[in-house]
Amino acid sequence: MRLLVICLFALLVVLSLLGSGTLNGVVGAPGGVPSSVTQWWGSLEPLARQYEVDPLLIAAVMMQESGGDPRARSWAGANGLMQVLDGPFEPNSNLESGIRILATNLKTFKNVRAALAAYNAGPGMSDADVASNPAQRFAGVRGAARQAGASVADFDKYYVYLPAETRKYVPAVMAYYERFSNGTATLSATGGPIRMPLDKFSWTPTFGKDIGNGQAAHSGEDLMAPCGTPVKAAFNGTIVYRGCLYGNCRDGGATNGATGHGLVVIEQFDANRYAVYAHLANYVTDRDVKAGDMVGTIGMTGWTLGCHLHYAIWNGSLDDLLKDGGKGWVDPKQYFPTAVLSQ
């Protein structure tokens, strides 16, 4: 009996260690990432903080590139965990090289999918450099955008001009990223990282429908939650506007004569793309934000019949958004994590 108790206790300890990611000294490693990758977490996570890159995105890249094998080598001469071209095999040096490249791509292109495409196919030459290297005119991300006649920010417009390998690589990494993020990351028009602005809510799809609020087509989705619920940034971005939108900021909703969207926070998260968080009670920040940072709380300002967050996405200029140009609203569900859409 005593032996059975000891065995059961030992089993509970092992399960606890597995759940917390501390087995084999891997402290703080996420549970959904394979052990072949989390074995490097002690080096990966500090470098992720240093270069300000989501460690789960790095893990997704490593999983696709090498599966966590430090001896991996490609036919093109890419080496190690992060498959750095002509890079070192030593794990820590290879990790830093790969993360530095990924961080540079993210800062250059400001779009996760474009950054991943550049990691695989190269960033391509600038307009100034391509004049003396015409053979490289359509190489890499800049080359694909140049061939499509599009800005590097408009990934969807030049995606088809990327190499076939890259067109497979980007969604493969994003699939790992979503899996490692437990469904909170998604492959969208901008590539994430994104989340829902509320942690808990109920909703019924109404975008584009007449819901009786004076709009022929509802401009977003209404996420139902109690007044006072924290509203969080859905993207990494910049707060570009806080104030009244399309009416007065009167509190108390439609029954109190309130009109428009009430108090709003507008976050720019990509070129000409904005997230609108409406019917707020207050604001929290007017600075750069990361997905998950609190930006306000749910209230009843503007035309509303009850406590909820009106969440909308605008594609166009900020000036047109503030003037209610009307034609820039896009379905926010394309930015919803798949875990929400599958509920």
What is the C-alpha separation between 54 and 300, in angstroms, rounded?
Answer: 35
Tokens 């989390």 — which residue? Answer: 38
Cα distance between residue 124 and residue 208, in whole Å: 39
Contact yes or no for 113/174 (Cβ under 8 A):
yes
Who contacts 25 (Cβ-Cβ below 8 Å, separation ≥6)? 42
- Does 90 qualify as catalytic in the annotation? no
Six token digits for residue 301: 């300002």
Q: What DSSP assignment string belongs to 78-110?
A: EETTTTEET---SHHHHHHHHHHHHHHHHHHH-
How wide is the angle at C-alpha 181 spanned by C-alphas 177 and 183, nearest 5°?
Answer: 95
Q: CB burial class (10 A; 0-12, 13-18, 19+) of residue 90? A: middle
Positions of E strands within the chain:
78-79, 84-85, 202-203, 221-224, 230-232, 237-245, 262-270, 273-283, 288-289, 294-298, 308-315, 329-330
- Among residues 45, 65, 221, 267, the one annotated as catalytic is 65
Distance separating alpha carbons of residues 75 and 85, to the nearest angstrom? 10
68 close to 39: Cβ distance less than 8 angstroms: yes
The Cα–Cα gap between 236 and 267 comes to 9
State the residue for tokens 């009430």. Answer: 262
Active site residues: 65
